[in-house]
Structure 1
């Protein structure tokens, strides 16, 4: 049994995997990581806990403290290689742990060239080739950050709750459509540079918002980072 924990900038996601699938999953605001102590009382005592963190040391310490006495957490860090994935980053250890977990999750189910897109607070767009080599990727502000930056840094643009339109005729729709166009254009431009037959896996809190407007073949993967963590933990047991 594996308990997987993804500590993101905004949300903490967790799940209990029994070797066949996710028995239960949940989320917390990362700022409320201490509440994991109460949540964990419903988890199997014999489970192994594995986690990744991009929210800083304070968040990591809060998770460790919340689970102390119940689980010894194994923190996934990016490395030169793991679980069939090789890391071609100039400094492999500086790759975000969530991106590394997503790449491991992607490799466990896809043996061809693949674009791995994590759409959360930030959007990351990573190329995993058919040999399992992470070739590099992009980081851009996520949908909410794009909208928030316009509201914060301009005098007359609101934090828009508009709708997507091909030809927007209101400011709110123009902002929402512009941000979605930007996300989709970045993903598409990377995808079309990949070899024929490549796939695209899309995960993260904003994935379902982006997916309807993405005109390339893609698969929504709700638990790709958690899947990667579970795959990594099982590899350590084997």
Structure 2
């Protein structure tokens, strides 16, 4: 890559982005559709990026809004990664490959580029996803679980008496207040899910990769096994773009 490429990881409500040139990350940030300052930061990141690559789990309307915004600013048509059956030695286990979230697929591609052995990708964001890939590149399957903040939101919405003003950290020790009991219980559920998934996976034990907004925290809760790779989705986006000859 010899010219700036804008890479965007688009979610349902916000996006992460980074600007890359010749393998170097020049800038990064977050964009929210209802946040004018973040919009200006994104649109002011480069005079004209040569390419715009997008990983998106948003709906068609939000994708269209992004395309229009980027087109009006730079006149560049974004390339959207879509989940295929095979790419760069990775094989999808889904009968309908396009139904797998492309962020999960790209995170596995990114991990696969780092490790040729059996591996497990733990993406801790709005959802906690856990995906296993064997040494031959075959997706063995995975799990999708509500993420920590989604768990907390559901508990507070559906349980009228569970209310607290404190803001304790996530921890695995038993809580001695309602606030601690909620946060520590969620931490226990998240860490326990990963531990159970790994126990279910059997041998050989997979190399562990963590990503997502809560990935580093979850890795710490588990005693720091494996590697935290914040840009794993972006790394997979680069692998897929190169495989497909995208410029």
The answer as to 2:121 corresponding to 1:116 is yes
CA gap of 1:230–1:33, structure 2 versus 1, over 3 A, is farther
Alignment equivalent of 1:184, drawn from 160, 179, 191: 191
Task: Give the root-mean-square deviation of aligned CA atoms.
Answer: 2.2
Give how far 1:223 is off. 0.7
In the alignment, the residues of structure 1 paired with residue 36 and residue 206 of structure 2 have an alpha-carbon distance, to the nearest angstrom, of 37
* Residue of 89, 99, 113 corresponding to 1:84: 89
Residue 98, structure 1, aligned to residue 106, structure 2: no
Distance 1:30 1:6, change over 3 A: farther
1:202 aligned to which of 210, 215, 224? 210
TM-score by length of 1: 0.91
Distance 1:202 1:167 in 2: 25
Q: CA deviation at 1:198?
A: 1.7
Q: Tell me by how many angstroms 1:44 deviates.
A: 5.6
Identify unmatched segments of 5+ residues in structure 1: none
Question: Which residue number corresponds to residue 241 of structure 2?
Answer: 233
Q: Cα distance 1:34–1:230, how it changes in 2: closer, same or farther (>3 A)?
A: farther
* Deviations 1:148-187, CA, capped at 9 Å, x for gaps: 1110000111267323251211111011011011111111
- Structure 2 segments unaligned to the other structure (5+ residues): none
Please state whether the residue corresponding to 1:156 is helix, strand or coil. coil
Q: 2:174 aligns with which of 167, 173, 189?
A: 167
Contact kept, 8 Å, 1:125 with 1:187, in 2: the verdict is yes
Are the equivalent residues in 1 in contact too, given 2:198–2:205 (CA < 8 A)? no
Q: How many pairs are equivalent?
A: 238
* Separation of aligned partners in 2, 1:129 and 1:30: 38
What TM-score do you get using the length of structure 2 for normalisation? Answer: 0.88
